[in-house]
Structure 1
Amino acid sequence: MGFFSRLFQPRADGLQAPSDWTRLPDSNASELVLFDEEARKLVAQFDIDAAIVTHQRWLPWLGEVLKGARDEHLRPEAVADDARSELGQWLHGSGREALGHFPAFDMLMRRHHFFHQQAAVLIRHAEAGETLQAEQAYKACQHASRQVVLLLKELQRGLVRGRRPAERRRDKSVV
C-alpha cells in the first residue's frame, strides 16, 4: 500500500473518491497526478531496484571465470570500463541526474569503478592461469559488490527520507 500512496496523492479538496468508480471527476484533469519531483524520485527508486538486480548478476559470471569458463563478452578491457555495464550506464546517466546530489552517490561511483577494475584484474589473472591472484581479485570484487549494493540501498533510503513527513507517516501506518 505504501507504493500506491506515493503514486496516488489524496484529493486536494479532502473529499473521498467515489466508491462506485462509475463517474469521472468533475474536472477534465486526472486526480492521479504525480508531481515532477515525486515522479523523478519514484523513477529513480525503480531504477535502483533494477540496478541492484543487474549488478548482482556479475558475481556468478565472475565465479564461472574463476572455474575456467571463458566468455567473449567478459573481456578485461571491456569489463574495466564501468560506464559500459547496465548499472554504469544508469549511474553516468539518469541515476546521476536524479541522485547525484546525495552524498552516497560519489562513493557509489568510486566503488562501482573499483569493482570493474578488480573484475578486469580477475579475468586477466584467470586467463593467465594465475589462480591465486584471480581468487584474490574475486574476493575484492565480492567486497566491492556488497558495498555497491549497500550504497544503492542507502540512496534508496535517502529517497524515502527526502519525502515530506506526512507521506512517511502515511507509509508507516499502512505497513
Structure 2
Amino acid sequence: MGFFSRLFQPRPDGQPVADDWTSLPDSQASELVVMGDEAAKLLAEFDIDTAIASHERWVPWLSQVLQGARDEQLRPEIIRDDSCSELGQWLHGNGRIALGHFPAYDMLLRRHRYFHQQAAMMVLHAEAGESQLAEQAFKGCQHASRQVVLLLKELKRGLGGRSARSRTPASPVGSR
C-alpha cells in the first residue's frame, strides 16, 4: 500500500485530522475509495484531470517570470491567495464538503496553499531583482506542485480513475 493511499483514510470518529503530520494512520488503513452515487456526484462537479492540467501550467508560467518575462496577471497579492485558482476555489468550497473528513484533504489543502505562497514570493523576488531568492522560491513551487499533483492523482485513483467533463482554462489564475 502506498504512502498517499494510507493518508486518505478518514478518522473513524469523523473528527478533523490534527495539524500534526508526525505520525501516519495505522498500517491497516485502506486507500480512499469513494463509491457509487458519492463518487458520481464528486466527479460531476470536479474534473480531476482538468485540475491537474491547470495546476501543472503554473510551473512553466512562473519559469518565464523567473527568466525575466513580465506578466500583469501574476500579481503577488493575487497569487498568494490560494483560492485564486480553479483548484483552490474547489478545495475551499465543494472539495471541503466532499473530502474534508479525509486526512489527505488537509495535506492537499496545505500543499496547495504553500505552492501559492512560494509562487507569490518568487514573483516578488524576481521583480526586485533578487534572482537567487527567486530561484529558491521557484524550487519550492516545483516541489509543492509535484506533491499537489500526486495527491490529486491519488484522489482520482480512489475514485476509480474516472474523470468528469473536460474544461481547459486559458491561464492558471482563475476568476477573481
Q: With structure 2 as the length reference, what TM-score do the two structures score?
A: 0.67
**In the alignment, what sits opposite 2:43?**
42
**In the alignment, what sits opposite 1:86?**
86
Partners of 1:107 and 1:155 in 2: CA distance: 12
**In the alignment, what sits opposite 1:52?**
52
Once the two structures are TM-superposed, the CA of residue 153 in structure 1 deviates from its matched residue by 1.1
Name the CA shift for 1:38/1:144 in 2 (closer, same or farther; >3 Å). Answer: closer
Task: Tell me if the contact between 1:104 and 1:155 (Cα under 8 Å) persists in the aligned partners.
Answer: no
**In the alignment, what sits opposite 1:113?**
113
Task: Tell me if the contact between 1:52 and 1:149 (Cα under 8 Å) persists in the aligned partners.
Answer: yes
Once the two structures are TM-superposed, the CA of residue 92 in structure 1 deviates from its matched residue by 1.1
Once the two structures are TM-superposed, the CA of residue 111 in structure 1 deviates from its matched residue by 0.2
Report matched runs for 1:11-160 at 5 Å.
36-43=37-44, 47-160=47-160
RMSD between aligned alpha carbons?
1.7
| 1:27-82 CA-partner distances (Å, limit 9, x unpaired) | xxxxxxxx6424214326x5211110110110011001001111111000100000
**In the alignment, what sits opposite 1:171?**
none
Partners of 2:159 and 2:62 in 1: CA distance: 31
Deviates more, 1:88-97 or 1:152-161: 152-161
Partners of 2:64 and 2:119 in 1: CA distance: 12
Give the greater-gyration-radius structure (CA): 1
Stretches of 4+ moved more than 3 A in 1? none
Q: How many residues align?
A: 126
Letter in 2 for 1:89: Q
What is the DSSP-based 3-state SS (H/G/I as helix, E as strand, rest coil) of the residue aligned with 2:83? helix
Letter in 1 for 2:86: E
Once the two structures are TM-superposed, the CA of residue 124 in structure 1 deviates from its matched residue by 0.4
Partners of 2:133 and 2:40 in 1: CA distance: 46
Partners of 1:66 and 1:114 in 2: CA distance: 18
Higher helix share: 1
Q: With structure 1 as the length reference, what TM-score do the two structures score?
A: 0.67
Gap runs ≥5 in structure 1: 1-34, 162-175
% identical equivalent positions:
70
Letter in 1 for 2:119: A
Once the two structures are TM-superposed, the CA of residue 85 in structure 1 deviates from its matched residue by 1.0
Partners of 1:42 and 1:111 in 2: CA distance: 22
Task: Tell me if the contact between 2:119 and 2:137 (Cα under 8 Å) persists in the aligned partners.
Answer: yes
Partners of 2:94 and 2:48 in 1: CA distance: 11
Partners of 1:125 and 1:102 in 2: CA distance: 35
Letter in 2 for 1:66: L
